Structure 1
Amino acid sequence: MRATAAGRLGLKVSLLQSGMGGVAGAELACAVSNAGAAGCAGGYKLADGALSKMLARLTRGTDRPVGVNLIPEVVGPDGLDRQVAQVLDETPGRVYLSFFGMPGDAVFRRAAAAGRQIVVQTGTVEDGLHAAAQGAVVVAQGTEAGGHLLGTSKRDTLVAALRDRLPGACLVASGGIGSPQEAERALAAGADGVLLGTAFVVAHESRAHARFKAAVTAADERDTVISDVYEIGWPGRRHRVLATAVTADPQQPAQFIGRTVVEGKPYLVPRFSAAVPTDATSGRIEEMALYCGRSCTAITAQAAAAEVVAAFTRVLPGAGTAKKWERAEISVGR
């Protein structure tokens, strides 16, 4: 019998939080983990002292399993090696490594040798097979997801294809999951758990800017578009965002439209930046990258992270074998 996501990661419920750079700080990750799910802080481009500060808050804030999300294609092999080394050196074994996209095999071996759990988000069958062969929990991301997209398949199509090839692997579904009912559909396709992003963007503990949160709760899936305009800092990757004046007219000049602060350091934000607007950002928030999945239709109000976890607990398996799911009559924000 294959393990549930909860069983693999030592959780109470098979629910993972996406490690969204900027939005998913240590506070959100710890709140999710303390509620019994898998919180995950966004490492993005953090390094050296800035990364150390975030890791310190993460390990102080929870004694439960919690993750750090790293992005191989953004920081490159050398940068990723340095980030991985810091996480391994500065955190206890309950902190797992989460990768958005495939790291090199040497990274898998290094994390495994340190006894760390590894989660890899993929968008293709090929990458999912490779990650599973390296012993990772595989997150199958469909195009319904908000943020950067790793493939071109819909969520349940990818989950089913991976389950057919990987009958014993631990698979987690990602993309368009904003209600317990949608989580049930992903489980029926063959998933052992789910990963949520957009539902946690609007959590009270999220660092998303207040206007970003308000835009997500007011939107439905028809307000999202797949684009490639927010490429400064992360080129060559399509992303699902809320439609903005920038997605409508990508010929505008790439001038500075705001300011932000990351771990105490100020930065200017240009139009077309991949950076999300956080509670430390000012300027033309409505023109920035408002990453949002199709799940926004079911997300109509802000809530505490623990409330989001609780809404999904009744339909998701725990640490034992998969249970019979009772249909939930609620959805986040309703």
Structure 2
Amino acid sequence: MNAGRLGGLLGISLPVVQGPFGGGLSSVALAAAVSEGGGLGSYGAHLLAPDEITDLVAELKARTARPFAVNLWVPQEDETRSWPDLAELAPHIRRLRPYHDALGLPPLAAGDLAPVPDFDAQVDALLAAGPPVVSFVMGPPPARVVAEARRLGIRVLGTATTVDEAVALERAGVDAVVASGADAGGHRGAFLRPVRESLVGTFSLVPQVADAVGVPVVAAGGIADGRGMAAALALGADAVQIGTAFLATRESGASPAHKRALGSPEARTTVLTRLFSGRTARGIANRFVRDMAAYEDAVPPYPVQSALMQSIRREAGERGRADLGSLWAGQAAPLTTADLAARDYLTRLLEDFHRARRRA
């Protein structure tokens, strides 16, 4: 299959990008499998320290000689960089106490919370490690990063949730734009306007972005099978980025409970919530989301809320407590198939794509 403009740009043979997952959901095995299958495997590294990023890129290079991407979050101005004191944190900690008790976890203390790694140090380590592709969400990469990546021959992808964001990314010098519709699972990357003003569906967003920019466009959100892939390419995308369906594969780092939930009837209902990280993200509505719905606007911003929730998310995953964990999922989650190897999923995706093209 011809991967078109993006294939020539990135050196991939299939117009398929695996969505990057943070919070332990990415895996080297998954990224390598997708890259070896001809797509662009990806790894979400926004919570990794600089030395961990160095090791990650080395491990990916050892697992595949094909192109892969490593993803970082661009810091936003509204995110707290200084940690609240204990008095400020106390009501948020008390609110979470019943869930710590339910999971057998000790109560949180302010000293248990660690700030996220420094973005500048992360990106310096990433560029020095030399992955074939770097990708960014939450904003345009800094000019110095784009310039250094270009000097090193590293391709740069940026993620847009609106047409204006896509134009801003092209002006910033990215090599391709990921047009991420509101259907997509996980964190929303809006950076020019609030999330509530940036919720454009994938199949409305893609043709507008394709008309507005000259760089290749990757359609993301609500694409889980060959029908969605065919539709995205017909609307002007050069490739598709698929997240939730790859999250359901054997190689992903998602917990068994999370993977089971993706293909369940519960996955028909997803919500946008700030409860797990302090940033808006799409996931399956479960007991925690419903119990805490009244506090959507009260929880602290990222990264404070993310740190407050870290032990609950981790323990819920380890104990198979789908009712209490963050079950990130896009609106096409019911179309996913559990327990497929990533290469088998790619094969099925392409077969479905060709069938859909023939029907059209």
TM band (smaller chain)? 0.7 to 0.9
Distance 1:276 1:78, change over 3 A: closer
- Give the 3-state SS of the residue equivalent to 1:143 in structure 2: coil
Aligned match of 1:180 in 196, 216, 226? 226
Q: Distance in 1 between matches of 2:293 and 2:333?
A: 28
Letter in 1 for 2:331: R
Q: Deviations over 1:45-67 (max 9, x none)?
A: 20133223322211111000011
Correspondence for 1:242: 284
Q: Distance in 1 between matches of 2:33 and 2:233?
A: 24
Runs of 4+ in 1 over 4 A off after TM superposition: 74-78, 269-280
Asked whether the 8 Å contact 1:52–1:90 carries over to 2, the reply is yes
Q: Distance in 1 between matches of 2:230 and 2:6?
A: 15
Asked whether the 8 Å contact 1:210–1:279 carries over to 2, the reply is no
Correspondence for 1:41: 43
Tell me whether 1:106 sits opposite 2:144 in the alignment: yes
Q: Distance in 1 between matches of 2:311 and 2:208?
A: 31
- Give the 3-state SS of the residue equivalent to 1:287 in structure 2: coil
| 219-228 or 208-217: bigger deviation | 219-228
Could you say which structure has the higher strand fraction? Answer: 1
Larger relative contact order, structure 1 or 2 (CA cutoff 8 Å, min sep 6): 1
Q: Distance in 1 between matches of 2:63 and 2:317?
A: 21
Distance 1:251 1:159, change over 3 A: closer
Task: Answer with 1 or 2: which has the greater Rg.
Answer: 2
- C-alpha deviation, 1:120, in angstroms: 1.0
Asked whether the 8 Å contact 1:274–1:289 carries over to 2, the reply is no
Tell me whether 1:198 sits opposite 2:227 in the alignment: no
- C-alpha deviation, 1:136, in angstroms: 2.2
Q: Deviations over 1:279-328 (max 9, x none)?
A: 98447443111100111121132211111222233577xxxxxxxx6526
- C-alpha deviation, 1:224, in angstroms: 1.4
**Aligned-residue identity in percent:** 29
Q: Deviations over 1:150-204 (max 9, x none)?
A: 33101111111111222x3200000011110011111122111100000111111
Using the size of structure 1 for normalisation, the TM-score is 0.80
Equivalent residue pairs, number: 300
Tell me whether 1:161 sits opposite 2:162 in the alignment: no
Tell me whether 1:149 sits opposite 2:151 in the alignment: no
- C-alpha deviation, 1:5, in angstroms: 2.0
Asked whether the 8 Å contact 1:230–1:272 carries over to 2, the reply is yes
Using the size of structure 2 for normalisation, the TM-score is 0.75
Letter in 1 for 2:166: G
Letter in 2 for 1:113: R
Could you say which structure has the higher helix fraction? Answer: 2
CA RMSD of aligned residues (A): 3.1
Tell me whether 1:126 sits opposite 2:164 in the alignment: yes
Q: Where do 5+ consecutive residues of structure 2 fail to align?
A: 82-115, 190-197, 296-305
Distance 1:154 1:292, change over 3 A: same
Aligned match of 2:58 in 56, 59, 69? 56
Q: Distance in 1 between matches of 2:243 and 2:320?
A: 24
Asked whether the 8 Å contact 2:13–2:39 carries over to 1, the reply is yes
